[in-house]
Amino acid sequence: MVTGEVDTEFRIGDQSKRIHLLILCPNLEVAKQVSDVASRYGDLSSDGRPKLHVAPPEMVEAIMEIDPWNEVVPAHAWTPWYSLFGSRSGFDRIEDCFQDQTRNIHALETGLSSDPPMNWRLSGLDRFTLISNSDSHSPWPYRLGREANEFELKEITYKEIIDAIRKKDLKRFIKTFESFPEYGKYHYTGHRNCNVFLSPAESRKCGNICPICGKKLTVGVLDRVEDLADRPEGYRLKEAIPYVSLIPLQEIIANALGARDVFGKSVWQEYNKLLKRFPSELHILLEATKNEVSSISGERVADAVLRVREGRIKFRPGYDGLYGRPLIFEEETARSEQAMQFREEKEERAKKDEGEVNKRPRPSPQRSLSDYL
């Protein structure tokens, strides 16, 4: 399987649109032919995800004429920018984007900020298979495999995989591994410069305008789903591909150790110790027992792994390009944030008492709409 991602840029009337597409090919020979066709529309050497000046229907038709086993998938279908349903330049219906070539679209990529239940709320998506992938153009290795697809095939071949996707075959397409959508960078509506993030109900109250600076908010995926959904929250599609929600092991370890981020030495030491003992990260996240994990990395890391596995996790949701923050030990997180806010307020009062009111203030904590009502 040879895969790639392209950025299609086109106009519909006076509107400029950009949609990212995944392209899957059965072999290098076919991939070369696809590259030759794609090069008509842009410079393929300009970027790892080249910009092509072509509308999606024309691109899909050209690709499928090369080989009927090629597969085109709308990438990260809900991201505000550059996606099929994105709030900034997307469409309300898949048919509006791909027109007569919709018949050659068999799957949608959920992306980090949505999961299957969010997509099940749109009856117009019932016939499409939902897949989950982690983009390999990320420079950080811990992001590889954070989203994935599991197949059980008699013979592991390209055609078997594509056929299982196209037929939504529950016997061969076993499950997808999804990030919790709150972990994604565009789950909530918000404005990162003002540290404001809002739920759909809150964003509607303020008309998608930042309550601090008055600028337009970046409308998040949850809001966009709410706009297009014709089914209630919690609806479950019959015969849907099962899924499991996860976050990377490094995020879990960092949370358990109280580390500021996933790049610290202590986090990677624990990660490498676990990987020496177990066959894979997914095995640790899904199958390793609490005793097995605790014997290597201690009770707290083991407890964190189990909490995530069982869905006992909350998030400060991602918004406007910022990743969501996992709150595995929520009770401790709340206390530490209250203490931090108290210290910051105390320091600010001290500065004012010392006549330093003209100095640049500390960054304000993240806010929700309720702070201004």
Q: Which residues contact 303 (CB under 8 A, 6 or more apart)?
A: 256, 290, 294
In this prediction, residue 114 carries a pLDDT of 97
Q: Which residues contact 190 (CB under 8 A, 6 or more apart)?
A: 196, 197, 198, 217, 218, 220, 319, 320, 322
Tens of pLDDT, residue by residue over 27-72, are 999 999 999 999 999 999 988 899 999 999 999 999 999 999 999 9
CA distance 372 to 150: 45
| DSSP codes joined into one string, 228-273 | H--S-TT---TTPPPEEEE--HHHHHHHHHT-SSTTSHHHHHHHHH
Q: pTM value?
A: 0.86
Q: Give the closest residue to 118 by CA, choosing from 179, 41, 75, 71.
A: 179
Q: Judging by DSSP bridges, how do beta strands 314-316 and 243-246 pair with one another?
A: unpaired
CA distance 196 to 212: 8
One-letter amino acid for residue 173 of the chain: F
Tens of pLDDT, residue by residue over 125-177, are 999 999 999 876 666 777 888 899 999 999 999 999 999 999 999 999 999 99
In this prediction, residue 349 carries a pLDDT of 59
Q: How many angstroms from the chain centroid is the CA of residue 210?
A: 23
In this prediction, residue 194 carries a pLDDT of 95
Q: Nearest 5°: phi and psi at 138?
A: -70, 140
Asked if 185 and 112 count as a contact pair (C-beta separation under 8 A), the reply is yes
Architecture of domain 2-183: Alpha-Beta Barrel (3.20)
Give me the residues paired with residue 276 across strands.
none
Asked if 187 and 113 count as a contact pair (C-beta separation under 8 A), the reply is yes
Query: Within the chain, which residue ranges are assigned CATH 3.20.20?
Result: 2-183
